[in-house]
Structure 1
Amino acid sequence: MSTSFLEIVELPDGRIVLRRAEDEVTLVTLDFSADARAFLQGQHIEVAKAMFNVGVQMAGRLAEGEGEWHSEDEGPRVLH
């Protein structure tokens, strides 16, 4: 991924996206359910920022060869 500036934006429909600032290409989309928003008591934006931050850091590590990625099956995977 290029070193362009990224921005976190809440769209009018409530989705939160990470996108490139210069061309507004969406890279990642988060969509919190109503239950999740209620549980987070209005702090869903802060949670989204933290999730994006960790994701960008991990992507950087993978790009530098510091992590491992395994794609053996194209079906859903439980990641916890």
Structure 2
Amino acid sequence: MPTSFLEIVELPDGRIALRRAEDEEALVILDFSADAKAFLQGHHVEVAKAMLSVGVQMAGRLAEGDFERDEEGPRVLH
């Protein structure tokens, strides 16, 4: 992915999007359920920022080859 500034925005429908600053198309969209928003007591935007920040950092590390994935066996996501 070319280097560009990324921004996190809250869309009119309440979803949180990560996009290039010069583009309206979202790269990633987070959609918290009403239950999750209630549980987070209105702090879902801060949680989304943290989630996206870690994701961007991880993507950078992957691009630099800092991670090796064992191709054997199933992938467990948790």
TM-score (norm 1): 0.85
Partner of 2:8: 8
Given the superposition, is the C-alpha separation of residues 71 and 48 from structure 1 closer, same or farther in structure 2, using an over 3 Å criterion?
Answer: farther
How many percent of aligned residue pairs carry the same amino acid? 80
Partner of 2:29: 29
CA–CA distance in structure 1, aligned partners of residues 69 and 38 of structure 2: 34
Partner of 1:65: 65
RMSD: 1.7
1:48 aligns to 2:55 (yes or no): no
Shift of 1:24: 2.0
Size of the aligned set, in residue pairs, is 76
Given the superposition, is the C-alpha separation of residues 67 and 29 from structure 1 closer, same or farther in structure 2, using an over 3 Å criterion?
Answer: same
Shift of 1:23: 1.7
Given the superposition, is the C-alpha separation of residues 64 and 44 from structure 1 closer, same or farther in structure 2, using an over 3 Å criterion?
Answer: same
Structure 1 unaligned segments of length 5 or more: list them: none
Partner of 1:79: 77
The aligned amino acid for 1:66 is D
TM-score (norm 2): 0.87
Structure 2 unaligned segments of length 5 or more: list them: none
CA–CA distance in structure 1, aligned partners of residues 27 and 69 of structure 2: 19
Q: Secondary structure of 1:4's match?
A: coil
Partner of 2:20: 20
Query: Where has structure 1 moved over 6 Å in runs of 4 or more?
Result: none
